[in-house]
Structure 1
Amino acid sequence: MTSRATAPALSQLGETTLRKVRRRLMPLIVLLYFIAYLDRNNVGFAKLGMQGDIGLTEAAYGLGAGIFFLGYALLEIPSNGGMYRFGARKWIARILISWGIFATAMFLVNGEATFYVIRFLLGAAEAGFFPAILFYLTLWFPAAQRVTVLGIFILAQPISNALGAPVSGMLLNLEGVAGLHGWQWLYILEGIPAIILGIITPFVMTDRPEHAKWLKPEERDWLSTTMAAELADKQKAGNHNFLAGLKDSRTIAYSALYFGLVCGIYGLGLWLPTIVKALGTFDSTQVGFIVFIPYAIAAVFVYFWSKRSDRTGNRVWHASASMVLAAVGLLGAGFLLPVNAVLAMVFLTLAAMGIYSAIAPFLAMPSAALTGAAAAAGLAMVNSLGNLGGFVAPYIVGILKDATGNSQTGLVFLAACLAVTAAATYLYARKRPEGVSAPGATVPAADTH
């Protein structure tokens, strides 16, 4: 029988240490992911001006938007191997600089071919960033506190979309400045920050707790000892090398489940500006401020839901319930789009709340199940194969939009993906220790079934 008792309370020293770690690490990590998500999704706004200038069909846009994830998936596991070998500080800086270069280079797009090529290279450059951060958090935060921390990290997604939407909308108004289109300025001004942060990161990021000179000696000793003890407990259960993470059956299962969740994340994110623009006669700035609404509300809900998941320890229920909420939101929006724009936006907001609140409790499960080099490999594989959903969903939505002339069938398709994934996630993880055990419980490092 799986225990659902809550984890033992932290000592005063533990509370103080982790509070200091959160304040030191999380602002930078959230900022980096904010920029990553901005550069990944700003193509949704750039499309509003770029589509007519270079002659993209809806299906071609969907393919180009999604092809990012092919490059991302191909290099994800090798990139995370490099991170484990060279350390998070140097490797994340390398990723930032390379993706910043290609994000800026998107202003050179002049047709379908260049659109596909640069989007693919951007995905290849960013490969490894997300699982590198997930693995980095496993080095600094005990499992009992990790869903809340993941929730803070995941907050960067809806916040990036919320703040990036009006900014991107306004940047499109730079049409003609210095002879460039507004969408070209969007790519330039939103790509350069990644390069700057890549230069700064090695000087402000610390690889492991034992290197944290900004902690007091007793705080550093407590954190190093706590994390080493948690690692040792997990390692007793089985292999924890790099290849073991790739072969672990849980890695494969969570990769397949994450694919379904990612279909919803990017199927909505990359098409939402287009959907909103079709609701009325809005200019690009107005579209940006309207798109801000569902993401801003989702950001508040993500933090609350992550804290609740940590408090109860029932990660699988929180992840599955969120996906059901997202499916209901997308289905409702699909049928209300041609009827009532305000109600359609209410349901799109519910969809955003469900999609983004599912991510932290879902990813906490493979993060808790694997450790050491196996975690680096396993999390990379989950993110790599799962993010292929970011290729499939936008492309299928584009094909359906070309075929029907509306967004309704695309939203119904995304709702079905999330509903099936919610059921499958619950059935798979409802009796597994990483899904329903107390937050501080030990989770075996290798599947014995």
Structure 2
Amino acid sequence: MSAIGPEPDHSDSAIGASAQRKAALRLLPVIGIGYGLAYVDRINISFAALQMNRDLQFSASVYGFGAGLFFIGYALCEVPSNLLLLRFGARRWLARIMFTWGLLAAAMMFVRTPLAFNTLRLLLGMAEAGFYPGVVYYLTLWFPARMRARAVSRFYVALPLSSVVMGSMAGWLLGLGGKLGLSGWQWLFLVEGLPTAVFSLVILKLLPDNPAQAQWLTTDEKAWLDRQLKADGERAHLGHSAGVTQALLSPKVWMIGAYFLCALTANYAYGFSAPAILQVATGWSVTNVGFLVACFGLAGAAGMLLNSAHSDRSGERALHCIIPCVVMAAGYLTASYAKEPWLVVVALAAGFISFMSMLGPANAVPMQFLAGRAAAAGLAAMNTITMFSGFIGPYWMGRTRDLTGNYELGLRGLVVPSLGAALVMFLLTRNLARFKGTATDAALANEPA
């Protein structure tokens, strides 16, 4: 040993970097494509409605109610689905989810009545239940806590990018009306639904259930991941020793669920009516509105990646969520009063980009206090609470549109959940800071003198 001490050993950090790089390259593109297909099949009725509501004589309230029923089915099956993922393994269960929801999404082309519309939307939600929390839980098996905002954003970026695909294709698909006796909205459901069912085979082939089954990781890389994830679990408020019941009853789980409930209520209320709102504001064709939505998607993807990377580097989560929520509120309020088309577009773009930018940091927050089996149950419970947003938001916009003849009141109402989300995140992160401080004090008190 030299007088100045041993040379630093960088081999462990090199092994860790290699393990993370391999996991990111092998897993995140596959998961991202899967989630992008899910989002397209969930929200493509926003474009289909431009023709479908007229052809089937659906009112805005009928449409909003049916659009929201998806999330009721999702919420009812969320926790059972995630527990079944633990039993059957992520690979098999995520593939099953994709296959069934892809077939049901394509089956939307057969809708003729409000009853059929409502039934298929409910079944579609039940089929997709568990995919998102299952994926987030799956990522906790591969990425340490300090990396998770970036990991989540790199698959979640498929959400705004799916808006690019959907917006770019919507005009063309709706323009296929009359071919083979199908309406344009029927072509939209068919062409965007079947690829999801096919992609389930890719999920089944390429996703290992956990690092131990990954043949592309070395023994040292698997051991590094195991050490890192065990350390995260020991620091978590609800770690590997916590049971499902503890996670389901945790006030922190309910608080993060309330945060997403508020934020997503605002986003889904806007998202399911976005093509109609933008068409009214601009007077543009469906094709041009689709390209505008695609531009929003590209900007949202950039905002998500940048804000998530900054949140991971700084280690700060709260402000990276709270500030976007305040901007969302300002955007919706401005759009509701603005008379100039350009100002409506800019305000709605600001709201959409802000929502997308906070998703990475916000999804990293529950990983500060959940690990292991408690994470699977806690994430499912969180998402169950969240999913009611998808019913509340679209139904709110549909009812206010029918009552007032425009979307102005609906947009103004979105200020409340946007600011509510900011408040909940502020309270939750203060609570987590107190818990962290208490845990640190306890650890110091137990150290030998």
Task: Verify same fold: TM over 0.5.
Answer: yes
CA distance in 1, matches of 2:271, 2:211: 36
CA distance in 2, matches of 1:10, 1:186: 50
Of 209-218 and 64-73, deviating more is: 209-218
CA distance in 2, matches of 1:45, 1:420: 29
Structural mapping, 1:118-197, within 5 Å: 118-197=120-199
Cα RMSD over matched residues? 2.1
Q: What SS does the corresponding residue of 1:101 show, helix, strand or coil?
A: helix
Corresponding position of 1:305 = 307
**CA 59–374 in structure 1, closer or farther in 2 if over 3 Å, else same:** same
2:327 to 325, 328, 348: 325
Counterpart code for 1:156? A
Structural mapping, 1:200-279, within 5 Å: 200-234=202-236, 239-279=241-281
Does the aligned pair in 1 maintain the 2:232–2:371 contact within 8 Å?
Answer: no
Deviations 1:156-202 (A, max 9, x none): 11111122112122200000010000000000010001110112211
Q: CA deviation at 1:424?
A: 2.5
Q: CA deviation at 1:270?
A: 0.8
CA distance in 2, matches of 1:103, 1:285: 22
Structural mapping, 1:363-374, within 5 Å: 363-374=363-374
Q: What SS does the corresponding residue of 1:141 show, helix, strand or coil?
A: coil
Q: Does 1:423 align with 2:434?
A: no
Q: CA deviation at 1:238?
A: 8.2
Corresponding position of 1:117 = 119
Q: What SS does the corresponding residue of 1:140 show, helix, strand or coil?
A: coil
Counterpart code for 1:182? G
Identity %: 36
CA distance in 2, matches of 1:9, 1:268: 49
**CA 226–352 in structure 1, closer or farther in 2 if over 3 Å, else same:** same
Does the aligned pair in 2 maintain the 1:313–1:436 contact within 8 Å?
Answer: no
Q: CA deviation at 1:10?
A: 7.8
Matched positions, count: 431
CA distance in 1, matches of 2:349, 2:238: 45
Corresponding position of 1:407 = 407
Counterpart code for 2:387? N
Deviations 1:72-129 (A, max 9, x none): 0000000001001111000000100110111011001102111111001000000000
CA distance in 1, matches of 2:240, 2:285: 58
**CA 236–71 in structure 1, closer or farther in 2 if over 3 Å, else same:** closer
Q: What SS does the corresponding residue of 1:11 show, helix, strand or coil?
A: helix
**CA 385–335 in structure 1, closer or farther in 2 if over 3 Å, else same:** same
CA distance in 1, matches of 2:12, 2:179: 56
Does the aligned pair in 1 maintain the 2:262–2:389 contact within 8 Å?
Answer: yes
Q: CA deviation at 1:232?
A: 4.1
Q: Given the two structures, how large is their TM-score scaled by the length of structure 1?
A: 0.92
CA distance in 2, matches of 1:43, 1:417: 23
Q: What SS does the corresponding residue of 2:365 show, helix, strand or coil?
A: helix
Deviations 1:126-165 (A, max 9, x none): 0000000010000100001001111112211111112211
Gaps of 5+ in 2: 1-9, 443-449
Does the aligned pair in 1 maintain the 2:15–2:221 contact within 8 Å?
Answer: yes
Larger Rg over CA atoms? 2
Corresponding position of 2:376 = 376
**CA 9–235 in structure 1, closer or farther in 2 if over 3 Å, else same:** farther
Structural mapping, 1:275-286, within 5 Å: 275-286=277-288
Corresponding position of 2:42 = 40
1:296 to 294, 298, 301: 298
CA distance in 2, matches of 1:434, 1:39: 41
Deviations 1:355-392 (A, max 9, x none): 11122211211122111111111100111111101100
Corresponding position of 2:3 = none
CA distance in 2, matches of 1:312, 1:80: 31
CA distance in 1, matches of 2:282, 2:249: 50
Structure 1 residue ranges (4+ consecutive) displaced by more than 6 angstroms after TM superposition: 235-238, 434-437
CA distance in 2, matches of 1:311, 1:382: 26
